[in-house]
Amino acid sequence: MKKLKWARIESTPVLVFDSLGIDYLKESIPSGARYEVLSFRDHFPVTGRPNFLWRWMKVVMGLKVSLSQAYMIALMDSYQPQVVLSFADQNQLLGLYQRYRDEVLVISVQNAVRHPHEFLRGVQAPHYFALGGDACRSFDRHQIPYKRCFASGSLPLGIFCSRNSITKCPGKLVFVSSYRRGFDHTNRDQAVDEYSSAQGRAHSLVFKNALRYAEESNMDLTVIAKGKVRYEGEYLAEEKAYFERLAGENEFTLSSTVKDTFNSYHHALTAEFVIGLDSTLLYEAFSVGARVLFCWGADQYLLENARSLTEHLPKPVLLESSNYAEFFGKVNFARDLTDQAYKSMIARGQSEYVNSAQRYPVHEQLKHEINAHLGQA
């Protein structure tokens, strides 16, 4: 159970809803614009404001939602924001608050590539800054209402690329981890559904293929760990042990984003080649021209259930079987292409899932959008 914590409520032009991705969102708020953060990931925010109960009941009656949903919407409304900004794009409260306060600019920034069924979790979407055009089309295909949808690109990738010049490291092979606790068969307490089981099988196979390829091709293998900044690397020790068991005597380097959230971009974009399963980082790297192999086909169940996330990928960058010969051949094929030939090959599907072809990075697009609204308010 979460502990209770008093929320510091002050009227503010910009309210950041949820602390997820706060370092990225801060870069997206115009200079000089005041903002507050409504955080609730490790605690439950409470308030003793005299008029809050009235505000809460007004939301319940106006939106016909649950008491808990109405509570959070009333809490948001207590800040009297003109703009609400969030990286938690699957949170239904954002769309509900947009419906409740149509005059407020509610912006939801997509934080990961999603299966179509994941979009159905939200009853509606506000102003949605999507990774790519495929996400916007998912709203239309599934008749999910939204205010506007922009194929704007990746927020963290845009920040990283605007700050750094990229120099490729010949001989550097990167494996992007999609580790989940269910992948590790020593964690028997973790329930595993059929999709997760297929993910686990494919993940282990592809990592072993990467190890073998690195050894045969005299490359240095770096694994970008899944363990994130939350709780200083939650499950990172288990993830490290998982890879060490699979690797045996084979050498690899494990790199974590615990201390530096942009570390994964550094490794993926400086690598000669990037291999992985289903990570958003693969799609982000692909969108800026990195040489990648999406290994969905390492398990046929996985491939069959990922059609929407593979249909725009060129065949040479998509592994379609568990056969090592295909893996070896496709990595070599892409590595041997000239820069221009590879660029031409991927051009058609490069921006479908993550659009990095925009003139301005996402954080600059957001600043412009927020500034324009604050100027009108």
Give the mean pLDDT of 305-324: 95
Query: Lowest-confidence range among 82-91, 231-240, 254-263, 279-288?
Result: 231-240
pLDDT at position 192: 54
pLDDT at position 1: 74
180: pLDDT strictly greater than 90: no
Owner of token pair 């059929």: 194
pLDDT (tens digit per residue) in 15-48: 999 999 999 999 999 999 999 999 998 899 999 8
HSE (CB half, 13 Å, CA atoms) of 137?
A: 9
Q: Does residue 104 contact residue 97 with C-beta atoms inside 8 Å?
A: yes
For residues 248 and 255, give the distance between their C-alpha atoms in angstroms, rounded to a whole number.
18
* CB-based burial, 165-203: b 16+ in 10 Å, e otherwise: eeeeeeebbbbbbbbbbbbbeeeeeeebeeeeebbbbbb
For residues 112 and 162, give the distance between their C-alpha atoms in angstroms, rounded to a whole number.
20
pLDDT (tens digit per residue) in 59-90: 999 998 999 999 999 999 999 999 999 999 98
> What share of residues in the chain are helix, strand, coil (percent, to 5)?
45, 15, 40
Q: Which two tokens stand for residue 187?
A: 């964690």
* CA angle (191 as vertex; 205, 69 as ends), nearest 5: 120
Owner of token pair 């996402």: 362
344: pLDDT strictly greater than 60: yes
* DSSP letter, residue 182: G
Average pLDDT along the chain: 91
Q: Confidence class of residue 232 from pLDDT cuts 50, 70 and 90? A: very low
229: pLDDT strictly greater than 50: no
- CB count, 10 Å around CB of 163? 10
pLDDT at position 191: 45
Q: Does residue 374 contact residue 83 with C-beta atoms inside 8 Å?
A: yes
pLDDT (tens digit per residue) in 265-290: 999 999 999 999 999 999 999 999 99
pTM: 0.93
pLDDT at position 117: 66
* DSSP letter, residue 158: H
For residues 91 and 99, give the distance between their C-alpha atoms in angstroms, rounded to a whole number.
14
pLDDT (tens digit per residue) in 102-157: 999 999 999 999 876 676 555 678 999 999 999 999 888 888 888 999 999 999 99
HSE (CB half, 13 Å, CA atoms) of 49?
A: 21
Strands (E), the chain: 3-6, 14-17, 35-38, 43-46, 83-86, 105-109, 125-130, 146-151, 169-176, 220-224, 253-255, 271-276, 292-294
Q: Does residue 196 contact residue 249 with C-beta atoms inside 8 Å?
A: no
List of domains in the chain: 3-153+359-376 (3.40.50), 159-346 (3.40.50.2000)
Alpha-carbon dihedral 47, 52, 55, 56, rounded to 10 degrees? 50
